[in-house]
Amino acid sequence: MAQVCHNAKAKRFFFVVSKSLIFLAFVVFFFVIAFASVVYLHLNRNSISDVLSEYNSEEDDIFWAKEILNGGYILHFRHAERDKWIDVQMYDALESDVHENGADDSRYAENDYFSEAVCLNDRGKIQAKAIGEHLTNINLPIGSVVSSVSCRARQTAVLAFGGYDSLHRILVHKGPYNETKKQRVASLVDFYNDLPVSKGSNTVISAHNGVVHCDMFENYCDNPSLEEGGFYVISRKPDGLYLEHEFHNYNRFNKVFYDR
């Protein structure tokens, strides 16, 4: 009888231990799967983010490409392609400050020894002309055109937008100048707020990638950056400037208008 009781207790003990081990194994398995999932998501976060962003961006591209056909916005273009030179800031300072952007009618960079450092290359000239032809075909309403004093920005304005109304040192990127971010942002906000913007047309800025800064805007923006030929859509509201959309490269805008 004692032996039977002992065996029954042993079986119950074995049963309880077995259930506990199975439960523990399940818990360990669950945490391993969860941990592996977290690691996978972390390692692939950029790819996942890119897919989601691409979907959202395409929808936004379509909306804003059609919206700016109504006019009333500031379109900040980065110039077309140039060759990358070391210390380009120094060459830009020659044109914008030392030579006063050809004030003596002889020292525009395109006519000077450092033209290859600051002007469009052959591909950039073709790119700017092609942008201009597409904009004409799309019938984008363009009013005033203002440009950085830099050669590549001026050339882009002439080839893509048919010329420019005025040139401004404030539209040169931050590289050549000794200034604080606060000073630069304040000057840019004042400049953008003073630009003429007509209800039925867009004001175009031909400038650089390193001009626009998030601190200029009242809404959230996350590290804006353009390829050569890309542009920002900026609006003016009673409480300030808003960065509405980024066409990272020109084709992001252009392809909206061509179906097949």
Q: Which tens digits make up the pLDDT trace of 201-244?
A: 999 999 999 899 999 999 998 888 999 999 999 999 999 999 99
- What is the model's pLDDT at position 222? 85
- The residues spanned by each domain of the chain are 2-43, 54-257
- What is the model's pLDDT at position 227? 96
Q: Is the dihedral of CA 119, 121, 124, 129 positive or negative?
A: positive
Section 124-132 average pLDDT: 98
From CA 201, how far away is CA 2, in angstroms rounded? 100
DSSP annotation string for 52-75: HHHHHHHHHHHHHHHHGGG---EE
From CA 207, how far away is CA 171, in angstroms rounded? 6
pLDDT score of 117 more than 90: yes
pLDDT in tens, 28-59: 666 667 666 555 555 655 554 444 444 458 99
Residue type, 252: R
- What is the model's pLDDT at position 127? 99
- To the nearest whole number, what is the mean pLDDT of the chain? 86
From CA 148, how far away is CA 26, in angstroms rounded? 65
Residue type, 27: V
Section 147-169 average pLDDT: 96
- What is the model's pLDDT at position 246? 97
Is there a contact between 241 and 234 (Cβ–Cβ < 8 Å)? yes
pLDDT score of 97 more than 70: yes
Weakest-pLDDT range from 104-113, 133-142, 170-179, 201-210: 104-113
From CA 236, how far away is CA 243, in angstroms rounded? 9
pTM confidence score: 0.77
pLDDT score of 79 more than 90: yes
Is domain 54-257 annotated with CATH 3.40.50.1240?
Answer: yes
Query: Which of 232, 233, 230 shows the shortest CA–CA distance to 254?
Result: 230
- What is the model's pLDDT at position 49? 45
From CA 77, how far away is CA 55, in angstroms rounded? 23
